[in-house]
Amino acid sequence: MGFGLASSLSGNTLISASGIVMGLGTITIICKAVYNLIFHPLSKVPGPRWNAISSIPLLLATFAGNQPFYLHDLHEKYGDIVRTGPDSLSFADPDAAKELYAERPGAPELRKDPLVYPVSLNGSFSILNAPNHADHNRYRRLLNPGFSDRAIRDQESVVKLYVDLLMQRLRENAARGPQDMVAWFNWTTFDIIGDLTFNQPFGCLEKSAYHPWITAVFQMVKTVVIMSGMGRYPLVKRIILFVFKKKIEAARMKSTEFTKAMVDHRVSSKAERIDFLSYALQQKSDKEFMTREEIEATSTILILGGSETSATFLSAATYYLLNHPHVMQKLVGEIRGGFQKEEDINMLTVNQLPYLQAVIKEALRIFPPVTLGSPRVVEGHGKAIGGIMVPSGTTVNANFYVTSRSSRNFVDQDKFLPERWFDGDERDPRFETDKRSASIPFSLGRRDCIGKNLAHAEMRLILVRFLFNFDLELDERSKDWAHGLKVFSLWEKTPLLVKLKPVA
C-alpha cells in the first residue's frame, strides 16, 4: 500500500515535471516566434509570416527540389528583398548581388555560409567550400594559370578529340530513333573534363554509359544539399544521419575513394601533357601548395563543376532552340553560312558568330545551370546590402535563377528572346529597361567560376558542330522538358529526346 502510494506519487511528479518542461518549451517557442516577428532587426523586411518565424517553409521547398522557383515566386510577390527565414534574406536586384558577391575597398568579401558549403566528404576543404579567404586564395592562385586564355587554347586538341567522337557517335546512332541529348552532352563534357583534369578519360562516349563514380557523386550532391538544409535543426539532422547512416556512408566512400584512386594514379604515372592537376600539384613555396586531401576534394569540384554545368547549358539551349524554330533557323543559317567545311570550325572561328553569342547569353539567362546562388554570412558590424542594413549573423543570397527570371530585371522574363542581347544599331528598344547585369550564371567576385572561359569555348564549339552536322526535331515526349524539373543545386534533368537527321 505504502509502496503503491509512493509509486503513484512519483508517477504524478514525473507527469507534472514533463508537463512543466513541455510548457516551458512551448512558451520559449512562442516567445521566439513573437520576437522574430515583431522585434527582430529583420522584422520590417517583407516576406511571409511563416518564414519570419521558421526556416521550415524554405527547407520544405529545398527538399522538394523547388527552391529557386519558390524563391522566385516570393520575390514576384514581395519585391527585391525577401525575408526567407528568421535570419536569412534573399535579394533579386543586380546591384545587391554585386554588394553581396564582389569585394569593394573597405568592404571585404563575405564568407560562404558553412551550412550550405559544409566540409568536403573526405574531411578537407576544396576551392568551392573553403571558408577562409586565405585558403581559397592559395588554391585559386595555383589553379588560375590552367584556366587562362592561353591554357585553354592549348587544351583545344583534347576538347576537339571528344567533340569529334560525339559527332561520330551521333551519326552512328541517329537512324536508331530519337536520341537522349542530355546523356550525350553529359558523356561528352565528363570525358573532356576527365581528360583535362586527370589526363585520363572516363570513357563515357565510347561505352555510351555514365561512369559509376559520376553516378555516386550525383547521389552525394543531392544528399549534401538536403543534409546542409538540415543544418539549422541539428537534432533532426542527427536522427536522419543515424537512420540512413549505412547508405550515406556507402555513397560517401564510393565517391571519395574513387577520387583518391584517380589522384593517386595521376601522381604515380607520367602525365602526357599539362592538365589541371599539374597546377594543383605544384609546390611553389612553403605557402603556395595544396595538400593531397585538398587536391582530392578540389578534383571532385573540377569534374562536377566542369561537366554537369556545361551539359545542362547544351541541353537547355537545344531545347529552347527547338521550341523557337525562327531562332533555330537564324542560328543554323549563321553557322552553315559562316563555315564551308567542318574543319574550319575551331575555338577561335566560333567567336565570329554574333547571333550565337546572343543565343548563348539568353539560354544562360533563362536556364542558369547553377541555381543555388552563393549564400554568404554577414559578420562583424553588419553590412549594407540593397539599401538596408543587414545585421551580423544573417545569411544572404542572390539566387542566379531568381535574378535572371525576375520581372523587375527583364522584360518578358520567361520568354526566350536572344534579340534582347543585341547591341549597337541592332539594339532593340523593347529591351531598354532590361537589367543585363542581373544575368550572372557564373557568379561574381573572387569566388566566381574559375572555368568560365573554358565553359564558353566548349559551349560554342559543341553547339556549332552539332548544328552544322544535324537537322533536329524535338520528340513529342520532350515537348515540355524544361518545365517541372527538380533542382538540388544542379538541375535533375530528365531525358531530352531529339530526332537527328545528319546533314549530308
Residue stretches of the annotated binding site for heme:
449
Task: Based on the shown chain and the rule CB under 6 A, indicate whether residue 449 belongs to the binding site for ligand HEM.
Answer: yes
Instruction: Report the residue from 194, 306, 386, 418 that binds ligand HEM according to the rule CB under 6 A.
Output: 306
Task: Based on the shown chain and the rule CB under 6 A, indicate whether residue 309 belongs to the binding site for ligand HEM.
Answer: yes
Q: Is there a contact between 97 and 80 (Cβ–Cβ < 8 Å)?
A: no
**Least distance (Å) between residue 188 CB and ligand HEM:** 12
C-alpha cell at 31: 516567445
**Least distance (Å) between residue 127 CB and ligand HEM:** 5
Task: Based on the shown chain and the rule CB under 6 A, indicate whether residue 370 belongs to the binding site for ligand HEM.
Answer: yes
Tell me, letter by letter, the H, E, C secondary structure of 413-427. Answer: CCCCCHHHHCCHHHC
**x/- site string to ligand HEM, residues 168 to 197, per CB under 6 A?**
-------------------------x----
**Least distance (Å) between residue 83 CB and ligand HEM:** 22
Whichever of 140 and 292 has its CB closer to ligand HEM, that residue is: 140
Binding segment for ligand HEM (CB under 6 A), chosen from 41-49, 71-79, 237-245, 445-453, is: 445-453
By DSSP bridging, strand 376-377 and strand 111-112 are antiparallel
Instruction: Report the residue from 36, 120, 406, 443 that binds ligand HEM according to the rule CB under 6 A.
Output: 443
**Least distance (Å) between residue 490 CB and ligand HEM:** 10
CA distance 129 to 449: 13
The residue written with cell numbers 558568330 in the block is: 353
**x/- site string to ligand HEM, residues 454 to 483, per CB under 6 A?**
xx----------------------------
Task: Based on the shown chain and the rule CB under 6 A, indicate whether residue 451 belongs to the binding site for ligand HEM.
Answer: yes
Instruction: Report the residue from 65, 369, 386, 418 that binds ligand HEM according to the rule CB under 6 A.
Output: 369
Position 62, amino acid: T
CA distance 13 to 9: 6
**Least distance (Å) between residue 53 CB and ligand HEM:** 28
C-alpha cell at 92: 533579386
C-alpha cell at 488: 538540388
Instruction: Report the residue from 305, 383, 406, 421 that binds ligand HEM according to the rule CB under 6 A.
Output: 305
Site for ligand HEM, residues 130 to 169, rule: CB under 6 A: 140
Task: Based on the shown chain and the rule CB under 6 A, indicate whether residue 374 belongs to the binding site for ligand HEM.
Answer: yes
CA distance 141 to 136: 9
Task: Based on the shown chain and the rule CB under 6 A, indicate whether residue 313 belongs to the binding site for ligand HEM.
Answer: yes
CA distance 228 to 222: 10
Whichever of 82 and 128 has its CB closer to ligand HEM, that residue is: 128
Number of residue whose CB is nearest ligand HEM: 451
Residue 89 phi, psi dihedral angles, 5° rounding:
-125, 150
Whichever of 48 and 131 has its CB closer to ligand HEM, that residue is: 131
**x/- site string to ligand HEM, residues 67 to 106, per CB under 6 A?**
----------------------------------------
Tell me, letter by letter, the H, E, C secondary structure of 341-378. Answer: CHHHCCCCHHHHCHHHHHHHHHHHHHCCCECCCCCEEC
Length of the chain: 504
Whichever of 179 and 300 has its CB closer to ligand HEM, that residue is: 300
DSSP H or E run through 219: helix 212-229
C-alpha cell at 79: 519585391
The three-class DSSP label of residue 68 is: helix
DSSP 8-class letter at 110: P
**Least distance (Å) between residue 84 CB and ligand HEM:** 17
The three-class DSSP label of residue 98 is: helix
DSSP H or E run through 389: strand 388-390
By DSSP bridging, strand 88-91 and strand 486-488 are unpaired
C-alpha cell at 404: 535572371
DSSP H or E run through 498: strand 497-502
Instruction: Report the residue from 302, 335, 385, 498 that binds ligand HEM according to the rule CB under 6 A.
Output: 302
Binding segment for ligand HEM (CB under 6 A), chosen from 18-26, 367-375, 413-421, 474-482, is: 367-375
Instruction: Report the residue from 447, 460, 465, 493 that binds ligand HEM according to the rule CB under 6 A.
Output: 447
Task: Based on the shown chain and the rule CB under 6 A, indicate whether residue 128 belongs to the binding site for ligand HEM.
Answer: yes
Whichever of 45 and 302 has its CB closer to ligand HEM, that residue is: 302
CA distance 271 to 418: 42
**x/- site string to ligand HEM, residues 412 to 441, per CB under 6 A?**
-----------------------------x
Nearest by Cα to 197 from 159, 235, 233: 159
Q: For the chain, what percentages of helix, strand and coil (3-state, to nearest 5) are there?
A: 60, 10, 30
Q: Name the site residues for ligand HEM (rule: CB under 6 A).
A: 127-128, 140, 193, 301-302, 305-306, 309-310, 313, 369-370, 374, 441-443, 447, 449-451, 454-455
